[in-house]
Homo-oligomer: A and B are copies of this chain.
Amino acid sequence: MVSFAIVGHLARSDGFFSLNDLPGSGGRMDVLCRCVNAALFLSHDLRRDADCYLILCGEEEAQKTIRFSGATVRSLSPDERSSAALIKKALGLPAGSEFRNAAAGVAVRKGGLDRLMKEHVFAVLDEKGSDIRSAERLPDSFILSDHLNFTDNEELQVSHSPRYSVGPVCLHADHTITVLHNELDRRKCGWM
């Protein structure tokens, strides 16, 4: 089981964004949609042992977290619009303090990073970390920032987390997830 959490700093949590303009109207919702794709898709298959948490911070007083579960998700296609439509559907529900299913494998609740950090031991994926290929063992929960850096407050929250880097150049969050999955796949299959 591997989990990814992505902090969407500007991502709208009220669902009022257009599927025709995910970057603008969604607060860079396109970044989060690509992360769902990278976390969950194999060729003609899904990674049934992966979860992807999207932390939508666009409205500070009304942050929400959406969970895509590879084990149970259905009706998800790889294109950005497909995951965006499921996000929009989840945000259309009244969110409570516990995860509530909006569609098979897609759930939503109130709250953001604070709470998720209490439930998972995340490692941070960023360019300042140690090389994933050099790690004797890799953790199974990772947190990443979207196109913006972690805020000072977020940095404080992850200050005790181990940090890993996937390579020498700074990549998009979804590309980082893809490279990390490849390293995990190799270790699982003895391709070192």
Chain A residues engaging chain B, CB cutoff 8 angstroms:
19-20, 22-23, 30-31, 34, 37-38, 41-45, 77-82, 131, 133, 147, 166-172, 175, 178-179, 181-182, 185-186, 188-189, 191
Contact = CB atoms under 8 A, between A and B. Distances in A.
Contacts of A30: 78-80
A167 B182 contact: yes
Given A30-B78, A80-B80, A178-B175, A44 B167 contact: no
Contacts of A167: 182, 185-186, 189, 191
Contacts of A175: 38, 41, 178, 181-182
A147 B44 contact: yes
5 contacts: A30-B78, A31-B78, A44-B147, A169-B189, A171-B182
Given A22-B79, A30-B79, A80-B79, A43 B171 contact: yes
Q: Which of A79, A131, A133 has the most CB of B within 10 A?
A: A79
B170 A44 contact: yes
A168 B191 contact: yes
Contacts of A133: 191
Nearest to A192: B133
B43 A172 contact: yes
Contacts of A147: 43-44
B42 A169 contact: yes
Contacts of A45: 170
CB-based closest 6 A-B pairs: A168-B189, A30-B79, A43-B170, A178-B178, A175-B178, A179-B182
A182 B78 CA distance: 22
A177 to B, nearest CB: 9
B172 A41 contact: yes
A158 B31 CA distance: 35
